[in-house]
Amino acid sequence: METSQDLFKDLEIAEKLFSDGSIKNAQKKVRNAYNKSKHLKKLPNKLRHKLNAAINKSRYYDEISSFATNPKRDQLITKIKDLISNPLENPKKHAHEINDIQGQWQLLDISSKAASKSQWIEFNELSNKAWEPCKEYFDEIKEIKVKNAKEREKIIDQINQYVISNQKKWPPVKDLITYLRNMFQNWQRFAPVLDKDINKLKTKYYDARKPINEYILKQENINKEKKEVLINKVNEIEDDDNERCISKYNELKNEWQKIGPAGRKNDTKLWDKFNKSADRFFVQKKQVIENEIQIINNLRSELKSASKTVNQILNELKALKNTKNTKEFKDINKEIKTHNENILINQKKEKIASYGNVYTALMKKSELETVPNIFQSDIEKSFKNKKSDIKELTNACIKLEIQANIDSDKDDQELRKVIQLELLKDKFNKKNKKSSNELNAIVSHFINNFSLKDAGGEQEKLWARMNKCFEVLI
């Protein structure tokens, strides 16, 4: 039973709310106090005055609120009228604009005195009129939603039929997961649906999928157990030969890959355990690899310093079993290749130089050790020649130029044609087969027709031309 004291407390609270700026809550408290006062037989004068003061303050704030909000409501009415006169081309945007105006109106009702009856009637009628351009659009949307619901029903039927066809012998779990994923993608395509259909369709959809999901879960649990067995087997691997340990691990890894999924969450954890169980093998192998890389680096240094031969280095590289695909192994093989190429280049240079030294040996009657052995006896014999045969020397020079594909002097062009023709005849008749000894034969011919006694500028020029050929032919 309400008492004067309860009413007094309510009015005290209302005064505090007014002071704090919580006007709506204060007005609510005043209304409640007023309603309570009706149930009291007699109000003390002090309490009556306090109540009347609170009621007057509430009315004051209503008047202020109306003064502030009525122009805002008039603006919203103007906005809705403009929207009726100039509807937006996009029905969706048009509807959004109406909702926004209505939302602003509702906020005014919440934060201030409610609109007058006439204002509300006018605004409501205008809102209904503003909605008319959207009616066709929302009818189409409704039709689409109905069609989507029918398509979702078809998907549910498909899943049910799939279950009936496969539940005696289910496909592999991976295939089932793929099937469900594809059906879900199809399901998502046919959205939205009517609100009244959402829950009903959702229930039927998940009920249809349930047998498949149950089988997947059952199989995933079986696969989980199989993978746990393999983890234990990895833990049990013991062998003095680390490579055999890794080989055994790889065999178990192949088995693992044949097992189906154990569930997304489980698979990640199980795979981590499986790999960590084998870490001890690869830590050891890593050390072996690091040791081999160090050997390779040492061999690279020995190659540069020539403290070991290439063959010695190659033999040591053959013994390395774990680093054949490493950058270091590839790099040293490149360096060996470059080293051998440089050797060949230097050998070629030396050989070219030794052929070039032939003329020096002919002129000095010495330094025979600087020329190829094959020419030394010919050079010694040439010292007995009384006269050079310029024709044969020229022939030797032109033959070498033909071999090297180097142009001869202008004065020798006619002779070159004759020699070319002879060479072609010889080739056709197979009398003079080209061989690796042909170069040496031509040089020997030059030596045999050379004489130091009449050596001069002509012989020197011919030899200079032949020297150019050596750079091509050797």
Tell me the pLDDT band of 381, cut-offs 50, 70 and 90.
very high
Task: Give the pLDDT mean for 94-113.
Answer: 80
Confidence check: pLDDT of 424 > 90: no
Nearest to 394 by CA among 446, 435, 356, 453: 446
What local confidence, expressed as pLDDT, does residue 83 receive? Answer: 87
Q: Which letter, b or e, does each residue of 357-378 get, where b requires 16 or more Cβ atoms within 10 Å of its Cβ?
A: bbbebbeeeeebeebeeebeeb
Cα(108)–Cα(67) distance, integer angstroms: 12
Q: What is the pLDDT of residues 148-161, one digit of tens each?
A: 999 999 999 999 99
Residue with tokens 């039973």: 1
Cα(208)–Cα(261) distance, integer angstroms: 22
Paired tokens of 384:
């007995």
Residue 51 has, within 13 A of its CA and on its CB side, a CA count of 21
DSSP state of 50: H
DSSP state of 167: T
SS3 87: coil
So where are the chain's domains? 4-115, 142-277, 285-345, 347-473
Percent of the chain at pLDDT above 70? Answer: 94
Confidence check: pLDDT of 111 > 70: no
The amino acid that residue 376 corresponds to is Q
Q: What is the pLDDT of residues 192-211, one digit of tens each?
A: 999 999 999 999 999 999 99
Of 21-35, 175-189, 300-314, 353-367, the one with minimum mean pLDDT is: 21-35
Tell me the pLDDT band of 110, cut-offs 50, 70 and 90.
low
Q: What is the pLDDT of residues 225-264, one digit of tens each?
A: 999 999 999 999 988 888 899 999 999 999 999 999 999 8
Q: What is the mean pLDDT of the chain?
A: 89
Confidence check: pLDDT of 404 > 80: yes
First to last CA, the chain: 127
Confidence check: pLDDT of 302 > 80: yes
What local confidence, expressed as pLDDT, does residue 430 receive? Answer: 58
Of 25-39, 61-75, 251-265, 349-363, the one with minimum mean pLDDT is: 61-75
Torsion over CA of 81, 86, 87 and 89, rounded to 10 degrees?
A: -160
Paired tokens of 248:
């055994």
| Higher-pLDDT residue of 110, 287 | 287
Tell me the pLDDT band of 116, cut-offs 50, 70 and 90.
confident
Judge if pTM exceeds 0.85: no
Confidence check: pLDDT of 98 > 80: yes
